[in-house]
Structures are given as C-alpha cells and as structure tokens.
Amino acid sequence: MNDTPLLKKTPLGMGRLRSLQTLSKVIIERSNGFKVSDLKDMLNLQGELHINGLEKVSNPQQAMDANLDGKKGLVRLKMEWSNVFDDSRNSILEYEVFEMLRPPTKLNLLIIYNYGGMKFPSWFVGTSFDKLTMLIIRDCSKLVDFSIGLMSTLEYLTIYGCINLVSVRENEINVGSSNRKSVLRVVHFSGCCSLESYKCPNTLEKLSIFCCKSLTSVIMSTTSQELPSSLRSLEVDDCENLKSLFHEEQLQSLTCLEEMRITTCENMNDSFPCGLWPPNLRKLKIEELKKPMSEWGMQNYPNSLVHLDLYGKNSGVTSFAMEGDEMNTAASTSFLLPPSLTHLTIWKFKDVESISEVVQHLTHLQQLTIWWCPNIKDVPKSTSSLMVEIYG
C-alpha cells in the first residue's frame, strides 16, 4: 500500500491477522475505525510500516497497547501525524502518545512527519538504536530542541520544515565508557528558520542547509585538528543572517571538498571570499554575498575548478577577465575567471556588455550558459567544442 495518498481507511479486523508479516501502511481513525492499539497482536510484522493519522490517538494507553517495540522484524518505520495544525491538536497529548510509541531498536530507517510536540520522547534520546542509519524529521513545527542521543550508527540526518527548532545536539549521552563517536556522513537542514547554529561532526561528507533564516554560524571545528577533512559537498542557501562558515585559513585543509554552493547569504563576513579555496574544488556556485563580486580581485582558484556558476545581481561587475592578465586585473569592476573552466554559467549580470573576448582565452571551456544578461551583445556561437545556451 505504498504511494497511496488518497487511502483513508484500514479495514476493521486487520489486527486479528496475527500471522501477517507484510503490512506497509495503516491509517488510524477515531470512533469505530482502526485504532493504533489494533496493532497489539501483530508481532510478526516485518520490513516496513507506515502509521498514518497519529493525531487521532486520544489516549496514550492505546499507543502503549500497540506494542511497537515487540515487533522485532520491523526495520523501517514511518510515524505520521496530520499536516493540519489547528485547535484540535494538543502538543502535550502528542508528546505522551509519542512516548508510548517506543519502536524496536533494530530499525535502520525512522521517519517522523508532522509531530506536534515541543520535544521528542525520552526513548528517542536514551535508547541505543544500534542499527539506525537514516533519520528523517519533517514539518514538526513545534519542536524546539533536538538531540541525536545514542544513535551511534546514524549516517544520514534530514530535518525539514521544523520552524521553531533552535538547537541540534549530537551524542551528548554516552553508554558508561564506550566513547561512541558520531558517524554522520550526510546532514540536510531545510526550512528550520529558528535554528541558530550547528556544529559539524568531523565525519561529515555532505552538508546542505537551506532557508534557515536565523542561522548565524556553522562551526566546522574549534581547532584545525577537528576539521571535517572528509567533507565532499557543502551547500548553503538563503541563510540571510549567516556570518561565517569557518576560518578562512581552514579552507585549504578541506582536501576532499569538491562541490561548494554558497548562495543568498547577504550577511556573510566580507572577508569571504579571501582568495583561499579547497585545493581539490571542482564545482563552485556563488551568489548574493555581502562582499560584492567587483571587489573580489584575484582569487587563486585551484586548477581543479572546472564548473563555475555566478549570479551577478548587485555585483557591480561590468566585465569579465582572466586571472593572471595584468592589463585586465587593474579594472576594479572586472570579475576574474580561472583558465581551468570547462563549464561557466552567468546569471543577471545586467551591466556586462561583452563576453566573447574572455571566452577566447578559456581554452578548456565546453559549455557557456547565459541567463538574463540583457546587455551582452557579442555572444559566441556554438561550435563542435563549445555549447552556448542563452535564456531570457
């Protein structure tokens, strides 16, 4: 019963199928419908289970009777409340219900949608989920604080649309002397507009942060020894109060970083960019930072940089030139391009009138894409070695 968004009812009597092993979805109802407690005797369930309609559970005892933690064969669990947050929702009751919905400890995937409590239950922090690798939390709009707790095997964390979430903490509880360390590889935050800061574990390989309006800092480390040298991809978009990502001198220690996207961060310290970049960076997208592009000057990009995506609104840039060209670097309103590029995309450079001359010097360029640059008159034509696309 996967991918059945219009399904509104689970047949009565389903709970008496005690030998049932596969039941991918149940829908909780009020009055005479299917109750969460009807799951009580279905101890042979295996694989995945999606419980929808948890906002209709009116008594925490029903949640306890569901005996989720007795279903040892479950490895993927999705708990879903309604996405309508009105006066019928009771955050205290939802917390008490969630507290009773203790899942089996051998899950490898846990998804939580639209939970209305301000905090997660005690079992979430205090239970050792030693198989859990992926956790997705979405649209829990009243959630204020979150801790990963004992999820020592967690590799993928996504938190989306938790608009009141202020802090995210990791592994603050240890088992006596095991000294468990984070193994988080991928972290994604989106629409968490109250989140103020985040400190990355040094195991991180991919970090994405979108639309977190209150975020002021992303702490990569407190010392260079803790730097997440495994980081391969960094994306930060629409974080209007973000002031810093890391100490600029640490950038060159990110030897695995290949993709960087930093966009719409208007209050980023104007010391960034400072001309220091990860030594193996391949793809870079930059737009709307505090420091105007016309003031960037020589950046000394690594030779590995082949994809560059630039957004020119309010940049002050009137032309493009090549890094190392002494005649052009003297023009304060020129943006200097690295000669290693194979792909170049430019957006909304309304004051730029010429592009062909600099393209002639980009001898490795394979694709040029131009979006909404109305005053560029000398656009080169596509050839067998260069694809040119123009939009707007």
pLDDT band at residue 293 using 50, 70 and 90 as cut-offs: very high
Domain limits for position 390: 292-392
Q: What are phi and psi of 100, to 5 degrees?
A: -85, -15
Q: What is the pLDDT of residue 223?
A: 52
Mention every residue, 6+ apart, whose C-beta is less than 8 A from residue 186: 155, 156, 157, 204, 205, 206, 207
307 found inside a domain: yes
Give first-to-last CA distance, the chain, whole Å.
Answer: 44
How far apart, in whole angstroms, are the C-alpha atoms of residue 286 and residue 349?
Answer: 13
Which carries the bigger pLDDT value, residue 21 or residue 173?
Answer: 21
Q: What is the pLDDT of residue 335?
A: 93
Q: Which two tokens stand for residue 163?
A: 């608009």
Position 334: which residue type? S
Residue 189 bridge partners (DSSP): 159, 209
298 found inside a domain: yes
362 found inside a domain: yes
59 found inside a domain: no
Q: Which two tokens stand for residue 280?
A: 């193996």
382 found inside a domain: yes
pLDDT at 150 over 90: no
Nearest CA to 142 out of 85, 74, 210, 223 is that of: 85
Q: Residue 326, Cα to own-chain centre: how many angstroms? A: 41
pLDDT band at residue 317 using 50, 70 and 90 as cut-offs: very high
H or E element at residue 92 = helix 91-100
Q: What percentage of the chain carries pLDDT values higher than 90? A: 72
Q: What is the pLDDT of residue 177?
A: 37
282 found inside a domain: no
99 found inside a domain: no
pLDDT at 173 over 50: no
Q: Which two tokens stand for residue 283?
A: 């793809």
Q: What is the pLDDT of residue 180?
A: 57
To the nearest whole number, what is the mean pLDDT of the chain?
Answer: 90
350 found inside a domain: yes
pLDDT at 226 over 90: no
For the chain, the domain total comes to 1
Q: What is the pLDDT of residue 179?
A: 53
